[in-house]
Every structure is written in structure tokens, then in C-alpha cells.
Structure 1
Amino acid sequence: MIPLSDRTGIEFAYDSRRLSDADAPGALAAAVGLPVDAGSPVPLAAGARPRPWVGNVVAVGPAAGAAPALDGAELLLLQLAIAQLVLLWPIDRAAMPEADIYNEEIAGTWARVTDFTAQHFRLNARGGEPFWDDARAAPISAELASKIDLFAARGMFAHVNHEAHVEDSWALVMAGHGITPRSFDPQASLVEDPELMAEFQRQLRAVATDVRAMDTHAEALRRIRG
């Protein structure tokens, strides 16, 4: 769901083998409980371009590869690609050794962002629904499998190269899908309970202070339009 100034946009991804394009708007309306103004369906491609930078042509965003239709992945990949391009802007129009680094970084980032989205499908608990049963059984990368196993064992994450999400984001998704670690990180025992509680209270006060200083959503929109 994407809040806009005059409406709420909704991205509705579905498997065309199980839901036809003609029936999709009705399914979306039933899911949200409100009438929807549906646009034309856009097929989602799969995979990423193996070499997004070739010669003096650089692909960013959708041109570099199809992003998973969840978690704002398309915008994240676009932002990271632009950041890499700015960092690696070539200084010679004929020889561009920066391209190899860019291609490696973008391919690795795409793989990690895809892993982050794939955990929703692997960890879903919606039994009896063919789409979600198949999604749960679909193969995942070795890196994602290791992340899930490690978090289930002790609530810890092993960062790999080209990581695009922070540990808290991974933990929130896995815990939200029902994974409870069997043990905990022994380093947690080094902090006394009163000290830990004081730190939590400090963080909560800081958040509350920041929130009170912010404009409301309506005030922010009025300022932007002005």
C-alpha cells in the first residue's frame, strides 16, 4: 500500500496460473473490503541482467533486473544502484574498469534483496492454499537457508557480502512469521536487567521526543503543496 496525496495506491501481485487478469480486480476489492479502480496488469519478469554496465551504458532500476514485488524492493534497488553509480562514476570515456565493480555489487545486492523477500514465502504458515504451499516448498538460496537456521538456533544473523537490510529488519520478519530462537546470544547475559531497562526507557523517551516534534501527515502534505 502506497499512501499518496489524493488516494492510496495498492500493488497487487498474483499468480496468473491461479487468478486470471479479469478476476484480479474483484479479488483485490474483496481483500481490501472497498471498491478499487484497477489499472491494466503488468507482467512481472524474473531475474536480473547479468551485466548491467556494458561499455558506456549503465542499467539501473527495472532495466537492471526485476525486483521482487514486496518490501519496497524496487525502490531500494534503484537507490542502491544510483549510489553505486555515483561512487564509481568513470573518469575515462574509453576505459571503464569501474564497470566490473558495479556489476558485482548490483548482482550481489539483487541476490540479498531477493533473499529478504523470499523469506516471506518460505516461512508462511498458510496451510491448505495451493499458492502458499508451493511457495513454502520452493527452493531458496544457501545464504537465506543459513540465515533462517542461525536465527532459529540463537536469534543471531550472519551478514554476508552485499547485505541490503539491517539485522532488525530480518529479525522482525522472522519473528513475525513465528520463528522463536531455541537459545539466545550469551553476550546478552553481560548486561544487567536494570541497565537494560534504563536503556530501553532512554530509547523510548528519544522516540517520543522526536515524534512530538514532527508535523502530522496532513501538516506535512500542506507544507509540500505550499
Structure 2
Amino acid sequence: MRPNAIRRVVIVGGGTAGWMAAAGIARVMGDMPHLSIELIESDEIGTVGVGEATIPQIGLFNALLGVDEADFVRETRATYKLGIEFVDWTRLGDRYVHPFGFYGIDMKGIQFHHHWLKGRALGDRTPLDAYSLAVVAGLRSKFAHPRPDQPNSPLSKLGYAFQFDAGLYARYLRRLAESWGVKRTEGRIVDVERNGKNGHVAAVVLHSGARVEGDLFIDCSGFRGLLIEEVMGAGFEDWTAWLPCDRAFAVPCELGGDDHPLTRSTARGAGWQWRIPLQHRIGNGYVYSSAHISDDEAAATLLANLDGVPLAEPKQLRFRAGHRRRAWVGNVVALGLAGGFLEPLESTSIHLVQSGIARLMTLFPTRDFDQVEIDRFNEESVKDYIDIRDFLVLHYKATERDDTPFWDYCRTLEPPPGLAHKLAMFERNGRIFREGNELFTETSWLSVMVGQGVEPRGYHPAADLLAEDETLTRLRHIREVVGSTAEAMPLQHDHLQRIGCAAAPLRRAS
């Protein structure tokens, strides 16, 4: 074993971020000789669960941990998720779905949507949603796993994620992590000791007087950023000008309404409301701008738009959109809300924790803490936030809504440079480019730009290699195959019952 190897990893804070970090590090690095992993959390301090919806990458993390999907779904009261439905974002009364998976099939060496755009020019006004199995199945409350063994079926490229109880997920991860040797210490941190030579964190002191020493500290302390900001002074990049929502109310309610395997985001007068259906309840929240609505009015709006009886009083959260300028300083790495916050409009909160853990595992340090590697971690972390920020701003910028001062502000804001470039490319001839390893695919950008009313002036010339009649015939055939495949899929309700989810049965779609 190298003499400068990390021997003591200390995770400050529990919740989803802390226990994801504990489980991930233990799974990947746990066999290192003499490595100890300790998580400190206090029952006195509540955790923040701003969202319980995920994106397909969560499957990769669960697979890394060796999680059995059916067991995970049962234990976390999870439902499946085929995409996000957006209501009233483009204009009042309008809706579309951002799906997981793909639209149609590529033809003549170009992306499917260019043929769809040609079809529109020929008078076929069928919405893009009709060519996505995730959308059609989701709106029919259907679910089935992808079938890569059937390459000619739309099921071969179906993507999915989960909606779950974040508290139960943290508990689930805790059981795994502790079985792999992670030690949990109960206690509230009252002081932090630093190394006088290099400024690194040497130990944290608990209210009980106990000291916990470490070589590497993972800050999962939430918005406060106990170590990364209060001790290490990482700095914060504020994006409120682009993402003006700065508060949220969250409340669970009884089951009601539809049971589509979709997260729903409904635009309101000063922000948007989430709806996340689980097996036993629905998670709801109103993300809003305090400059455009009062707290009382926001809470009343949320409670007036629930599908069931509320199960608690609305809980308020306050935040700023943005990120730490340096997510890694010295021997402290920030994950989750300690590293930054972007509203959960596209369910990216848990993914940012996951990507931070993966990056840390790739660049896992020695006690020398090489600055070149730390700089690389920070550069990639910032890029993650920028890529997601631009995608979120698209939802606000590309709108026709002018019915409230909030939407006037959003519609007329100057977009970030990356978003401005993407919009310009798409508006000309429907071209979409995925920059490097950015999270959101061409399908994601396409769905939101089209869904939000961005109209290209043309399409790829190769689409004209198909005759007009053949283009329309192929489009019709693809719609029919998507529709028949969705119809043959089982209801999500039946699938959940089949794998033993007997909590509170979901209501069947009417």
C-alpha cells in the first residue's frame, strides 16, 4: 500500500447525497487496505428532499451497487418514469412530454426529426409526441422494460427512470453502505479543526466533544456548505438572473388523478408546480420567484392544485440557483446541495450527486492532493452545471406566455451564450449538436425546443432523398407501430403488482 494513501474518508451529512456517497465509495474503494469510511449526521437536522424524480442514469448507479431493481422499487415505494410532461409552459392550455428514448427511426443517414419537419412542410401536422413510445405509453399508463433483443421494435430503445421516496432511498443506501463497513456517527458538528500548515480540514468536533479525524472530507451538509464554504471559502456563482425562482413549497398528498409513469411540471403564474406520483402518495411542490409572488399566495396556489388530500403542512425551501466556484478545495469535496443548486425542473439533482461521485472515483486522491487533478474535477463540475443550466433556461426563454410579470421577465431575458447558439442552429434548419459529454441528448433538446414552440425554417436536405408520398407513408407507418407497441404493453399498475409492490395499490387509469 502506498504510504500516502487515503486512510480515512469522512462524510459530513446524510440524506440522499451523503448515503449515495457512502455507498458509492464503499462499493468502489471499500477493499482498499486500512480504508475507513465514516458518515456523520444528526437526527436534529432535517434533510432537504426537493425532488424524488430521476433520469435514466440512476440505473447505472444502482447497477454499480449491485441493486436488484424489483427489491429497490418495493423498498423505496417507487414508480417508473418514462419522461416529464410539461403543461402550460409554451402557452396556457398547451402540453408536451420530454421523453426518455428516441423519436421514430433515423432514415437516409439523418436524424428522424428532419423527416418529421419535412412532413410538416407537406401538411402533416401530427405532433412529435406521436413518434415516441415513451410518450404514447406514458400517457396510457403503460410500462415495459426495454427489449434490446428486438432491434426492430420501438421497445429496443426505450429509456426509463424512477420516481421514489427520497427518504426511503437514503435508508436503503444506508443499509447497503453499513453492510459494506461504513460507520455512521450520530452528532451535530460544532467546530472544525484545520491543519496549520496547509489549511486542510484535520477534524470535526461534535456537540458531544468527540473529534472525528479524516484525510478526505465529503461535504454533504446541504445549502449551508459547512466545510466547502464556511471553512474553505469556495465562493458561489449566482445564476439568479437566468433562473429567478428562489423558493419552493413542498407537500405530499394522497393518491388521486392519473397514474401515468411521468413526472408532471405545470407552469404557474410565478414559477412551476411538480407532481411526482409514487406507490403510496404523490409528491408536490411549487417552485417560485419571491420577487413575483408572496409566500402565502404560493402556498395557497400549491394546496389548491393537488390531486388528493394533503398529508402534511407545506414545507418551505429557500435557495439560490448556481454552484460553488470550486467544488473541491484542499481535502474537501462538496456533493449535492453543498456543491450547488439547480431547480428540479428536469430531475437533475440526484444525477449531479451521482456524477460527482463518479468523478471523485475517477480522480480519487492520495494525501498529496494533486492540484492538477483537483482543477480537472472543478472544471468538469462547473461544465455539468452550465450544461444543465442552459437546458433549464430554455424552458423559460422559449415561451409565448405574457400573462404575468414573471413570464414577461423570462421570455425577454438574454440567454446564456451556449443556449443562444443552440437556438440559432435549430431555428435555421433544425440542427442539434450535443457538445462533448453534456448530459442532455439531441432527443432532449429536440423535445423541449419543439414542445416550447421553436420553429425551424428548414430541414436537412437529405430528407428530400425520399419522395413526398413515401415520406408521409413512412411517418404514418412509424406512428402506427409506436401506437400498437404501446397498446400491447402492460399497465404500470399491473407490472408493479407482479413484482410484489403491495403498499397502497395505484389507481388504474380510467
TM-score (norm 1): 0.84
Query: How far is 1:162 from its partner?
Result: 4.4
Among 106, 115, 120, which residue is 2:395 paired with?
A: 120
- Which of 278, 301, 314 does residue 27 from structure 1 map onto? 301
Offset, 1:105 = 0.7
Report deviation, 1:16.
1.4
Quote how far apart the aligned CAs of 1:218 are. Answer: 3.6
Distance 2:487 2:392 in 1: 33
Aligned residue number for residue 136 of structure 1: 411
Counterpart in 1 of 2:285? 11
**How far apart are the structure 1 equivalents of 2:477 and 2:360?**
39
Q: Which runs of 5+ in 2 are unaligned?
A: 1-274, 504-510
1:219 aligned residue: 497
Compared CA separation, residues 126 and 51, structure 1 to 2 (3 A): same
Letter in 2 for 1:185: H
Whole-Å separation in 2 of the counterparts to 1:206 and 1:163:
33
1:176 partnered with 2:451: yes
In the TM superposition, what whole-angstrom CA distance separates every residue of 1:134-171 from its partner, at most 9, and x where no partner exists?
11122221110111111111111122244110111111
C-alpha distance 103-32 of structure 1, shift in aligned 2 (>3 A): same
Post-superposition offset of 1:108: 0.5
- Partner of residue 368 from structure 2, selected from 77, 94, 112: 94
Amino acid at match of 2:353: L
Partner of 1:46: 321
Q: Displacement, 1:107? A: 0.2
Per the alignment, in what secondary structure is the counterpart of residue 317 of structure 2? Answer: coil
Shift of residue 79, structure 1, vs aligned partner: 2.2
Contact 1:124 1:136 in 2 (8 A): yes
What's the counterpart of residue 74 of structure 1? 349
Amino acid across the alignment from 1:15: S
Deviation of 1:24 (Å): 1.9
CA shift in 2, pair 1:170/1:207, >3 Å: farther
Instruction: For residue 220 of structure 1, report the CA deviation from its aligned partner.
Output: 6.1
Task: Identify if the C-alpha distance between structure 1 residues 94 and 139 changes in structure 2 by more than 3 Å, giving closer, same or farther.
Answer: same
Distance 1:190 1:206, change over 3 A: farther
Range moving further from structure 2, 208-217 or 15-24: 208-217
Counterparts of 2:453 and 2:497, CA distance in 1: 38
Asked if structure 1 preserves the Cα contact closer than 8 Å seen for 2:426 and 2:432, the reply is: yes
Distance change in 2, residues 1:100/1:207 (3 Å): farther
Are 1:58 and 2:336 counterparts? no
- Percent same amino acid among aligned pairs? 31
For residue 17 of structure 1, give the secondary structure of its aligned residue in structure 2.
Answer: coil
Give ranges in structure 1 of 5+ residues lacking alignment: none
- After TM superposition, list the pairs within 5 Å mapping 1:139-150 onto structure 2: 139-150=414-425
> Which amino acid in the other structure matches residue 382 of structure 2?
A
Contact 1:112 1:163 in 2 (8 A): yes
The structure number with the bigger radius of gyration is 2
Aligned partner of residue 323 in structure 2, secondary structure: coil
- State the alpha-carbon separation in 1 of the partners of residues 499 and 286 from structure 2: 26
Identify which range, 212-221 or 63-72, moves more after superposition: 212-221
Q: Distance in 1 between matches of 2:288 and 2:344?
A: 10
Deviation at 1:75, TM superposition (A): 2.1
* CA gap 1:206/1:160 in 2 versus in 1, 3 angstroms: farther
Determine helix, strand or coil for the equivalent of 1:93.
coil
| Cα distance in structure 2, aligned partners of 1:214 and 1:22 | 37
Residue in structure 2 matched with residue 104 of structure 1 by the alignment: 379
Rounded Cα–Cα distance in structure 1 between residues aligned with 2:332 and 2:410: 36
- SS, match of residue 173 in structure 1: helix
Distance in 2 between residues matched to 1:220 and 1:168, nearest whole Å: 31
The C-alpha deviation readout for 1:59-102, integer Å capped at 9, x for no partner, is 11211111123111212222222222222222x22133321111
User: Which residue identity is paired with 1:12?
Assistant: Y
Inter-CA distance 75–197: structure 2 relative to 1 (3 Å threshold): same
Amino acid at match of 1:219: Q
- The 3 A distance-change label for structure 1 pair 123 and 95 is same
Q: CA deviation at 1:54?
A: 1.4
Structure 1 distance, partners of 2:477, 2:361, is 38
Q: CA deviation at 1:30?
A: 2.9
Cα drift, residue 103 of structure 1: 0.6
Figure out how many residues of one structure are paired with residues of the other and give that number.
Answer: 224
Give the TM-score of the pair, scaled to structure 2: 0.40
Distance change >3 Å, CA 30–CA 181, structure 1 → 2 = same
Q: Which residue of 2 aligns with 1:188?
A: 463
Structure 1 or 2: larger strand share?
A: 2
